[in-house]
Copies of this chain bind each other. A is one copy, B any other.
């Protein structure tokens, strides 16, 4: 039975999910285990607990339990900015002249500006519960670092952020938001770690990379009393926390009889895509419903569409466990003209396995077309989207235009992960027609992929 559908669907507090959904429990082919980089044996909870909080290490390795209770304290924090609205894009539909029905789940209505807060509060909570003093992390575009700073400020935890140097310099305002929330922000590579000093010695002029900032943050975590490392994407625990996006979406769809034909998400490390699709994928895996899932990645960092599925290093310093994933090689760094996030060389093991099993399709798009879509979206729907999120917008618009040709009334759901308020340098380039595209050559990718560990 379908009720009259409001323009924006906000769940009632009583309807909000109380448990996260762990899609691994329903996967026949489980994601490959993390391996110890020394022994090449699967990592144990004990081993992982040196880097991560114990409960997060358990979540990381748990591929059996389908539902995990969201602790009361996290539910309280979620109430500060959730539920996020599920919005019917009436104005976009009208502008495109499409018979398709377009919905988006908007995660940008919080100061971190993105969905990252969903996992930041969870990871900070478990650190606090374990009696830790603080956490360390890396951030690139700055969404994750901001989210973690907010969560730590709320819980009274210390927060040390290694920020990719080029972003630290080009995005001083993101840095200031983190500082306002009391975080300690260091440009990476830095002289504060062994791995940082080594990288600076080897590449004196480097502007840094995510892989390098991860290495520094991990080193500080394992060498400081009372600290652990936290990560904003890629990990299975992060996808678990982000399932709140998909669960809220599914509850809202069910409540109003909305049946998505396709679900579209941008994919960098896979946290948003994995979280958005998880509960829907669960239904598909259990044979209860069918959906088309589309992962959208930048043509300049195409891990799913042009990478290989293999064990790889997660970081530049090679201090982290090995993960089996679609990857471009840990030495891959997107071209300098690449704007925004979605720049990690690999992809979540969960998303990688689902993609390898043919349960998800993937598409890559070039950034000028992404900013065109972003601008059109902003003008008709009001919200100025993050460059990352705009990858999903682009493909949602492409699919809606296909419906216009065929006359099909498909229902499209996409994840609008965040806002672009701290990305105006990129928008300015686009407005000034100074933005360009870059597609790495086969040779270039072959070279970075050749850095994969061999065993």
Contact = CB atoms under 8 A, between A and B. Distances in A.
Contacts of A110: 382-383
B91 A154 contact: yes
A319 interface: no
Nearest to A77: B382
Interface in A214-232: none
A1 interface: no
Interface string A355-377: 00000000000000000000100
Contacts of A291: none
A79 B79 CA distance: 22
Interface stretch (A56-64, A260-268, A422-430): A422-430
A383 B111 contact: yes
Q: How many copies does the complex hold?
A: 2
Contacts of A379: 153-154, 181-182
Interface in A117-153: 150, 153
A173 B172 CA distance: 12
Contact of A81 (B79, B180, B382): B382
Contacts of A179: 427-428, 431
Count chain B CB atoms within 10 A of each CB in A111, A153, A177 and give the residue with the most.
A111
A80 B428 contact: no
A13 interface: yes
The SS class assigned to the A binding surface is helix
Contact of A419 (B111, B381, B428, B431): B111
A384 interface: yes
Interface residues of A, number: 41
A289 interface: no
A79 B381 CA distance: 11
Given A6-B13, A109-B109, A180 B378 contact: yes
A203 interface: no
Given A109-B109, A424-B172, A384 B177 contact: yes
A67 interface: no
A111 B378 contact: yes
A404 B36 CA distance: 55
A384 B180 contact: yes
A375 B181 CA distance: 7
A185 to B, nearest CB: 11
A122 to B, nearest CB: 15
A374 to B, nearest CB: 8
A153 B384 CA distance: 12
The 4 closest A-B CB pairs, nearest first, are A173-B424, A153-B379, A7-B79, A176-B424
6 contacts: A6-B12, A7-B13, A7-B80, A153-B380, A154-B379, A172-B428
Interface of A: 6-8, 10, 12-13, 79-81, 91, 109-111, 113, 150, 153-154, 172-173, 176-177, 179-182, 375, 378-384, 419, 421-422, 424-425, 427-428, 431
